Structure 1
Amino acid sequence: MSTQQENEEERSFKRSRLQSQKENFHPGLLEETTIEKIHKAFQTSQPYLHCKIDQLMNDSLLRSVRKEIQENLHFTVKETDIYKVWQTGDLANLDGLPEDELAKLSHLFKLRNALYSQDFRDFISSVTNCGPLSGTKTDMSINSYNEGCHLLNHDDVIGTRRVSFILYLTDPDQRWDPQDGGALELYPVIEKGIPAVEPTVIIPPQWNQFVMFTVQPGHSFHSVEEVVPQGKPRLSISGWFHIPQKGEPGYNALVEEGQAKSSLEQLQEESDSSTKFAQYKTPLEDDATEGLTEEDLISLAEWMNPHYLNMTILSKMSEQFLEESAVQCKDILNKEWYDKIKQATLEADEQDGFGKERMMAHGTGTQRGNWECQGPPHRHRYMVVNSDNKKQQESSSSLLGDLKHKFSDEPFRHWLAVVTQLLPLGYRGDARRFRPGHDYTLATTNTRGQGVLDVTFCMASMPSDEAQEKWDGGEYGGYECYMAPHDEEEDAAVYKAADEEGALLTMPAGENELALVLRDEGVMRFIKYVSARAPGSRWDVAFEYDLPEEQDEEEQKE
């Protein structure tokens, strides 16, 4: 056979293959004119390279896929500090199913093969200019974002990922209401690796809509807004196209070795000491752990429940702390302070529209008093009181700002010494507000090489008798979780769930409570994302106290 005949047969085979693939996709999608149009939109997109295709698949095929999923697949809920979602296993495993089971998912199998076909991978490469993509490494799953499900800010950098994609399978006969949440949110960066606190592009899901973006370390930050209503799941297929694997055309060992570290690895390596400790002017003497002075008692009585100024009570608390490295104090504020803060925080939530089981717009609350939003959101997002910014007098920021100053005063330092038998050297902390539907902290590790004393006053909004039950259950978030260090052999791409064996201590958001926790080196902590369905905001004053370096026995003898 001549070379010309071989080339003609190859072209004929490709045309036949392309024609068969075209039947699986929306009419005209794989045409050159369409590819060029999408490519131009992709190249000019902001805040980073991405595109949205309103109709990707053959509608009949996708409806059949949705029906198969609903009738034959099992979903498992997965929840960590960064997400909550109902998910199937990796669809790469479809190849290993028995024939009778695969027959029940024949349309899903067809869809998966179409998405990873050479023709569609060529389409992706042409649109994104990302180079060749792997045809052997399939990486996709079906996600159902039910009521309360969400995915917080991250850049998708794990392993050999090159292009991220989402194909929406929401109700084909009813348009998704953006007020129900579930939108894909894209964030600009202030500088590489530091996303802005709020997104600039928000893409609500719609049936047969396809969104993709190239995985760009330090740039492709995104999140999935919480789904609020009950009984209206945001169903989607999401996954990644990878760089060519070993043995595939286009494989480059140097490119694979040079892949950026995952978001989780970056967080674990980042120090939690971005804010330095303010040092007390004078060190405490050892006898500071024995009792409080008259001046201390007078100062503390201005705001603290007198129950916690009784030396008998403090001695019992000290015993518990020494045994468990943690102690919680109910009703820590006296009645005057408690009444003022409760009224101010409930009024603020009411005026801002929180606690009504709906998503509020980004930026809600930023015009209130001295509150301002603080990020970066790939580590945390919450409001803080900026006492230097005297915008206006406002009760919630003024009162919690005043309480913040109490936490740095010498009398409270002395009180901590009595309860913990530790001698704080310095402090850092903020008065914070975690707004429903917006705010959280992701797990960060104590990397200081020694223990740190965490002291947190919590004032979760309690507008009704049922509110405490909601906070206690954990479903609405706002709880603080301490976790054991990750095993070095664990996959660094996996965020450990709070309910696994790694959880050392979990504290639901309470009202008028103070928690003291000695956090050892390597221990992780986070405050779970506060659901839009929560009774209101989690308000707190959270401080860390610098402690003297631990001495070994020989140094102590000397």
Structure 2
Amino acid sequence: MSSKRARSDPGSWTGGKRQLKEREVAELNPLLSEAKEQVREAWSRGLEYSHEKGLILDTQPFAHCVIPNFVQSQRFLAGLQNELLRLNFYDKSNDLYKFKQSDDLRKKKEYHISALRKVLFEDFRTWLSDIIGIKLENTVDLSCAKYEYTDVLLCHDDELEGRRIAFILYLVPEWGKCDGGNLDLYGADDHYQPQQIVKSLTPSWNTLVFFEVSPVSHHQVSEVLSEEKCRLSVSGWFHGPSLERPARYIEPLSHRYPHIASDEKILYDWINPIYLDVSTQAHIQEEFEEESEILLKNFFKKETFQMVCKALQGSEIKWKRRGPANKRCYDQAEEDSLPDILAKCMELFSSEAMFLLLSNFTGLKLHFLAASNNDADEKDSEIEEHDGHEHPCSSIEKRNKCDSTERKDDTNEGEDVKPKKIEDPGESSKSWNEEFGGVTSYIAKGEDEELLSLCPEDNSLALIYRDKETLKFVKHINQRSISQCKKTHETKGFWDFNFVYYE
């Protein structure tokens, strides 16, 4: 009897389903049509424009547009969000990013994803083509990304053949700037290199941001700081004729310096006596020649190491930020500001005695007096060393949370034969965890698989043999390091002494 009433009810189940489907049609915000001519005019003239309903077109630091309430139906958006969250996501992690991404959405058959794809590929693409005055191609890249606690996408410009407009549609809960995950836009210098963040856009539900892909469209997704929220978005690129790209700027090479004349007394003042023993050196050389790398623990004398650590925390040291942000991001100490103990430490690694000791450790001819089993014409080989709570890069570096990174495209070719600089990437930590980031990864050129992963470790000297086909990068130091430091009252980050020697 109850079934009969249900079938005869005017709001029958079948009719209800049909009405529900009608309510879930994906339609663009009428604001796009309403403001179309004004936006097109502003874009063509390179002017700013804002609408009272929230649409904003800005030209600084590069052309971009923010469209609130992009899709009209909230019911449709809820359905879309549910479908997206049910997709298979894959971990994406390298020197540039760490987040989860879905497969390409172009062939997904779920109702809401298909409807969104149709709106983007047809209605929005037509509107966008009229705005920028360029016919965009039918092909569109489209995927879904999830950024959760400590996920990040570091500074880059999105430039790839055929990409013309990048876009992001946010499907996030209530979100504040303090949650991280902001879209940071960088200004550029005269060489088209990113300088500092000029503008940050905080994600908000059903807001679409698009910008023109160009030589100066440097941007990043800042690290997500919330442990509870998920930054869900659909993003991709519209294709069309690329903007003219200027010749790639080549950074000037660093100078190479010869060793400083010295006798072996400097070694006895600093280094653990066990490493000055001839039989120990022979054992180290045998292992190094077999593995092409070695970690020498407790390298400095204990009391000397403690003096170095104390000096690194001194307020008199002047630190300078190293960039550009699409290649590296950490602080480097200015050598003329170093206290005496650190200046002497740098002198140690530049000394003739150290060149000879490293030759004994490695079997490489790093000094003309050193014996070598290798061919003398192997001039492209490098030995990199990391000392103390330190990290790679030819100098003393301070690696801090969230900004400590060095990209694998920065191969440091042409660095000094002696330590050329001192950089500070963060303060030392006796219990550094690989989950914090700050790990140095070595990979073969053109490959993704790591050859070697080096985690910072107190008072340890790492020697790595590296040729031109081996690249390295330092992983971004994330929020977990700060959380750990608050619990243990330790200093955050770590310092890194880095040197490159040439055979």
TM-score, normalised to structure 2's length? Answer: 0.77
Contact 1:304 1:333 in 2 (8 A): yes
Q: Which residue is 1:123 aligned to?
A: 127
Report the 3-state secondary structure (helix = DSSP H, G, I; strand = E; otherwise coil) of the residue aligned with 2:353. Answer: helix
Q: What is the distance in 1 between the residues matched to 2:140 and 2:472?
A: 34
Q: Which residue is 1:370 aligned to?
A: 318
Q: Which residue is 1:334 aligned to?
A: 301
RMSD: 3.5
Q: What is the distance in 2 between the residues matched to 1:539 and 1:130?
A: 51
Q: What is the distance in 1 between the residues matched to 2:290 and 2:26?
A: 68
Q: Which residue is 2:166 aligned to?
A: 164
**Aligned residue among 436, 443, 448 for 2:408:** 443
Q: Tell me the matched-pair count.
A: 435
Work out whether 1:404 is the aligned partner of 2:346. yes
Work out whether 1:478 is the aligned partner of 2:438. yes
CA, structure 1 residues 448+190, in 2 after alignment: closer, same or farther (shift >3 Å)?
closer
Work out whether 1:239 is the aligned partner of 2:236. yes
Q: Where does 1:54-453 land on structure 2 (aligned, <5 Å)?
A: 54-60=68-74, 61-70=76-85, 72-94=86-108, 102=109, 105-117=110-122, 119-127=123-131, 129=132, 131-135=134-138, 137-171=139-173, 174=174, 176-196=175-195, 198-217=196-215, 219-243=216-240, 255=241, 274-280=253-259, 296-343=263-310, 369-388=317-336, 390=337, 400=342, 402-424=344-366, 429-444=394-409
Runs (4+) of structure 1 exceeding 4 A deviation are: 20-23, 37-40, 258-262, 398-402, 425-428, 445-449, 452-464
Note the residue ranges of structure 2 that are not aligned, 5 or more in a row: 1-22, 50-56, 368-381, 384-392, 486-491
Deviations 1:198-234 (A, max 9, x none): 21111121111221110102x1111111112223111
Contact 1:87 1:143 in 2 (8 A): yes
User: Could you tell me which amino acid in structure 2 is paired with residue 234 of structure 1?
Assistant: R
Q: What is the distance in 2 between the residues matched to 1:459 and 1:418?
A: 30
1:235: Cα distance to partner?
Answer: 0.8
Deviations 1:260-317 (A, max 9, x none): 599xxx79xx68x7213123478xxxxxxxxxxxx74421232222222222211111
Contact 2:396 2:423 in 1 (8 A): no
Q: What is the distance in 2 between the residues matched to 1:412 and 1:320?
A: 19
**Aligned residue among 454, 460, 464 for 1:513:** 460
Q: Which residue is 1:52 aligned to?
A: 66
Q: What is the distance in 2 between the residues matched to 1:35 and 1:23?
A: 24
TM-score, normalised to structure 1's length? Answer: 0.70
CA, structure 1 residues 130+144, in 2 after alignment: closer, same or farther (shift >3 Å)?
farther
Q: What is the distance in 2 between the residues matched to 1:166 and 1:310?
A: 60
Q: What is the distance in 1 between the residues matched to 2:172 and 2:311?
A: 41
Q: What is the distance in 2 between the residues matched to 1:405 and 1:224?
A: 40
Contact 1:139 1:239 in 2 (8 A): yes
Q: Which residue is 1:8 aligned to?
A: none
Q: Which residue is 2:48 aligned to?
A: 41
Work out whether 1:28 is the aligned partner of 2:47. no
User: Could you tell me which amino acid in structure 1 is paired with residue 408 of structure 2?
Assistant: A
**Aligned residue among 525, 543, 556 for 2:499:** 543
Report the 3-state secondary structure (helix = DSSP H, G, I; strand = E; otherwise coil) of the residue aligned with 1:317. Answer: helix
Report the 3-state secondary structure (helix = DSSP H, G, I; strand = E; otherwise coil) of the residue aligned with 1:424. Answer: coil
Deviations 1:435-475 (A, max 9, x none): 111120111375969xx9999999985657xx33x2xxx32
Deviations 1:410-438 (A, max 9, x none): 22222112212223369993111111111
User: Could you tell me which amino acid in structure 2 is paired with residue 510 of structure 1?
Assistant: E
1:33: Cα distance to partner?
Answer: 5.5
Contact 1:29 1:35 in 2 (8 A): no
Q: What is the distance in 2 between the residues matched to 1:400 and 1:383?
A: 16
Q: What is the distance in 2 between the residues matched to 1:59 and 1:435?
A: 44
Contact 2:330 2:424 in 1 (8 A): no
